């Protein structure tokens, strides 16, 4: 097999394309950005044409780095954030400025609460509540608040499926997306759709729009063949097999699991840290864990159950410190992060745990995915002062990073309390390129931290899907064993053990205080007007 595999990852703000050989070795990568639109508070949307243009730019760019590579590509696969793409009649956009709802769009918070209030059996697979980041609250919001736009909708797709549809003209759905983000329970077989719930919500016809009622395809199956027009845009030969894709977090999980995953399943967790954070673990049995999405059967591997815990804003929160702190650089680019991290490293070396000892936070700026499963929760910060000095800025950055990591530890402890025994955490995504976050994950999680040897675990996982579509691997589990790179285990620094234990205790007390305050705030908001 001397051909190549092409993987495309569509994140929150950019598209990345990577070329791999048959062994999972990355040969080249290129990215292109696109705009996230925020037409109103709580709303985050895209134009599909802008996303596709970035995909085409990234693909053409990476092909240009390896002369003659286009003719050698054996298969293409897409992963994407679990954003909701809507096709529709009439000229674009569908509503406002967009036709794609970003995963971070929270306009459906009230609708999510209404769905939770139904008590439907779907909630057994979403941690007991429904997050506004799922697709159903967004669709219900559109039907309730913009019925004219809802009437124009002809199909609803996970973004990875929408990209494959645009590339091939074949309208199919990945089992990964349906299992993880839709009112669809694969273990229920022919009755997988929660039709009674949809009827109660006034969305009974949802499965009939587009190809949602058709049987979904497993990740790595052939979604279709690259159409001539799309092939021209991408700079590839037409007829190329395009794999059934997957959500970006699941792709990053595949790329970070390592070849020994099957033997260490119950003790292994993959943490994909980027704009947000996903914590992914697999089990051979069904475990219903409060505040954790899942269990989703067959979402990635047939017969295995996936749990997905998460934090809604992590990398984006560090960006916000850079952009908004009065003493910060007022920009969030790699150089600004690197400069802040270097300055913090110098302070930590000089002061040790005394640095930022009085500053702590509960990092829930956009709700708490896990372990509460409460989209209304918001952050709590302790130790804030006038915030005018460089030290104030550096402490704010450090405390934010530490709070993110301590909440990840809380989530892993929560998983362990419900059947897991996590001893190894594989770090995937942009957080692995931030040395401060790596040090905190290494020292504060209380588990072995593994850094995958591949520089691009998300793209590698997507390349694994392409390898199955190309016929190079019989299934994804085999692809993980044959293409997984393994990783380097980082030993915790014992000098920081006591400090992080104390900080974790402070985090836990603040977490409970915040929750109590929120309950009282709800009572306050419900008081009658005098």
What string of DSSP letters covers 15-81? Answer: EEEEEE-TTS-EEEEEEEE-PPB-SSTT--EE-HHHHHHHHHHHHHHHHHTSTT-GGGEEEEEEEE-
Q: Return the structure tokens found at 74.
A: 């054996």
* Mean of the per-residue pLDDT values of the chain: 95
Helix axes 390-416, 334-351, angle to 10 degrees: 90
Listed in sequence order, the residues at least 6 apart from 513 whose beta carbon sits closer than 8 Å to its beta carbon are 380
* Residue 307: alpha-carbon gap to chain centroid: 13
- Whether residue 93 is preceded by a cis peptide bond, meaning omega within 30 degrees of 0, is yes
Q: Return the structure tokens found at 459.
A: 């793209």
Q: Using an 8 Å Cβ cutoff, are 16 and 85 in contact?
A: no
**15 - beta bridge partners?**
10, 32
Q: In whole angstroms, give the CA distance from residue 183 to residue 191.
A: 11
Q: Return the structure tokens found at 358.
A: 């009085």
Q: In whole angstroms, give the CA distance from residue 117 to residue 114.
A: 5
Tens digit of pLDDT for each residue in 295-323? 999 999 999 999 999 998 999 999 999 99
3-state secondary structure of 283: strand
**380 - beta bridge partners?**
362
- Mean of the pLDDT values across residues 507-527? 96
- pLDDT score, position 94: 75
3-state secondary structure of 418: coil
Q: Using an 8 Å Cβ cutoff, are 360 and 506 in contact?
A: yes
CB atoms within 10 A of CB 85: 24
Degrees (nearest 5) of the Cα angle 353, 358, 363? 100
Identify the residue whose tokens are 């199955």.
468
- Percent with pLDDT over 70 in the chain: 100
pLDDT band at 193 (very low <50, low <70, confident <90, very high): very high
Identify the residue whose tokens are 């306009």.
107
- pLDDT score, position 96: 73
Identify the burial level of 436 via C-beta atoms within 10 angstroms of its C-beta, where 0-12 means exposed, 13-18 middle and 19 or more buried: buried
Identify the residue whose tokens are 């027009």.
229
φ, ψ for residue 492 (rounded to 5)? -65, 145
Alpha carbon separation from 111 to 80, 121, 245, 375 (Å, rounded): 24, 17, 28, 11
pLDDT band at 2 (very low <50, low <70, confident <90, very high): confident
Question: Quick one: three-class SS letters along 141-164?
Answer: HHHHHCHHHHHHEEEEEEHHHHHH
Tens digit of pLDDT for each residue in 435-464? 999 999 999 999 999 999 999 999 999 999
Alpha carbon separation from 46 to 16, 21, 84, 115, 416 (Å, rounded): 17, 32, 10, 25, 37
Phi-psi group of 446: left, alpha or beta (phi > 0 → left; psi -120 to 50 → alpha; rest → beta): left
- Mean of the pLDDT values across residues 231-236? 98
Q: In whole angstroms, give the CA distance from residue 203 to residue 205.
A: 5
Query: How is residue 529 annotated by DSSP?
Result: P
Alpha carbon separation from 210 to 161, 184, 214, 227, 338 (Å, rounded): 12, 16, 9, 19, 46
Alpha carbon separation from 172 to 77, 160, 215, 426 (Å, rounded): 14, 11, 8, 32
**307 - beta bridge partners?**
281
Give the CATH number of domain 4-248; options: 3.40.50.300, 3.30.420.40, 3.10.20.30, 3.40.50.150: 3.30.420.40
φ, ψ for residue 133 (rounded to 5)? -80, -10
- Segment (H or E) for 230: helix 228-234
Q: Return the structure tokens found at 196.
A: 């009674």
- Segment (H or E) for 425: strand 424-428
Q: Using an 8 Å Cβ cutoff, are 167 and 230 in contact?
A: yes
Parts of the chain belonging to CATH 3.30.420.40: 4-248
- Mean of the pLDDT values across residues 117-124? 96
Phi-psi group of 172: left, alpha or beta (phi > 0 → left; psi -120 to 50 → alpha; rest → beta): beta
E strand intervals along 383-456:
424-428, 448-452
Helices (runs of H) and strands (runs of E) counted in the chain: 16, 20
Tens digit of pLDDT for each residue in 253-300? 999 998 889 899 999 999 999 999 999 999 999 999 999 999 999 999
CATH (residue range 315-412+494-524): 1.20.58.2240
Is pTM, for the whole model, over 0.85?
Answer: yes
Tens digit of pLDDT for each residue in 43-101? 999 999 999 999 999 999 999 999 999 999 999 999 999 999 999 998 777 777 789 99
Tens digit of pLDDT for each residue in 323-365? 999 999 999 999 999 999 999 999 999 999 999 999 999 999 9
Q: In whole angstroms, give the CA distance from residue 248 to residue 461.
A: 9
- pLDDT score, position 529: 87
Parts of the chain belonging to CATH 1.20.58.2240: 315-412+494-524
φ, ψ for residue 296 (rounded to 5)? -110, 110
- pLDDT score, position 91: 79
Asked if the model's pLDDT at residue 377 lies above 80, the reply is yes
| Complete DSSP assignment for 481-527 | HHH---EEEEPP-GGGHHHHHHHHHHHHHHHHHHHHHHHHHHHHHHS
């Amino acid at each position: 097999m001397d051909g190549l595999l092409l993987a495309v990852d569509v994140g929150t703000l950019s598209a990345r394309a990577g070329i791999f050989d048959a062994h999972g070795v990355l040969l080249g990568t290129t990215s292109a950005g696109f705009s996230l639109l925020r037409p109103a508070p709580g709303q985050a949307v895209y134009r599909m044409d802008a996303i596709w243009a970035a995909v085409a730019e990234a693909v053409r760019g990476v092909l240009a780095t390896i002369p003659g590579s286009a003719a050698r590509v054996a298969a293409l696969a897409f992963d994407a954030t679990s954003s909701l793409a809507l096709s529709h009649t009439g000229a674009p956009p569908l509503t406002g400025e967009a036709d794609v709802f970003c995963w971070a769009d929270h306009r459906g918070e009230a609708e999510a609460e209404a769905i939770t209030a139904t008590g439907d059996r779907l909630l057994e697979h979403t941690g007991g509540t429904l997050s506004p980041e799922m697709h159903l609250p967004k669709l219900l919001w559109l039907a309730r608040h913009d019925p004219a736009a809802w009437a124009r909708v002809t199909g609803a797709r996970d973004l990875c499926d929408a990209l494959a549809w645009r590339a091939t003209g074949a309208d199919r759905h990945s089992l990964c997306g349906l299992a993880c983000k839709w009112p669809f329970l694969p273990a229920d077989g022919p009755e997988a759709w929660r039709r009674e719930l949809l009827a109660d919500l006034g969305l009974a016809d949802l499965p009939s729009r587009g190809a949602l009622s058709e049987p979904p395809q497993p990740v790595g199956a052939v979604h279709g063949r690259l159409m001539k027009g799309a092939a021209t845009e991408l700079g590839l030969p037409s007829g190329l097999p395009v794999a059934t894709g997957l959500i970006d977090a699941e792709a990053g999980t595949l790329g970070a699991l390592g070849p020994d995953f099957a033997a260490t399943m119950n003790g292994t967790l993959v943490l994909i840290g980027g704009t947000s954070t996903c914590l992914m673990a697999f089990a051979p049995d069904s475990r219903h864990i409060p505040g954790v999405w899942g269990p989703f059967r067959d979402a990635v591997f047939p017969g295995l159950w996936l749990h997905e815990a998460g934090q809604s804003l992590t990398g984006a929160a560090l960006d916000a410190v850079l952009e908004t702190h009065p003493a910060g650089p007022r920009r969030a680019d790699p150089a600004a992060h690197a400069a802040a991290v270097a300055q913090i490293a110098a302070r930590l070396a000089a002061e040790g745990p005394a640095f930022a000892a009085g500053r702590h936070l509960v990092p829930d700026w956009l709700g708490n995915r896990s372990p509460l499963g409460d989209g209304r929760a918001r952050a709590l910060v302790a130790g804030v002062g006038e915030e005018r000095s460089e030290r104030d800025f550096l402490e704010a950055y450090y405390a934010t990073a530490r709070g993110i990591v301590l909440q990840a530890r809380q989530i892993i402890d929560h998983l362990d309390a419900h059947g897991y025994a996590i001893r190894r955490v594989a770090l995937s995504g942009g957080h692995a390129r931030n040395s401060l976050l790596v040090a905190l994950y290494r020292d504060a999680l209380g588990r072995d931290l593994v850094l995958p040897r591949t520089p691009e675990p998300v793209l590698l996982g997507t390349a694994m899907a392409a390898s199955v579509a190309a016929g190079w691997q019989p299934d994804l589990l085999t692809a993980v064993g044959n293409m997984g790179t393994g990783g380097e285990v980082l030993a915790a620094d014992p000098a920081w053990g006591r400090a992080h234990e104390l900080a974790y205790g402070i985090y836990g007390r603040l977490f409970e205080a915040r929750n109590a305050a929120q309950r009282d705030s709800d009572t306050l908001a419900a008081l009658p007007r005098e």
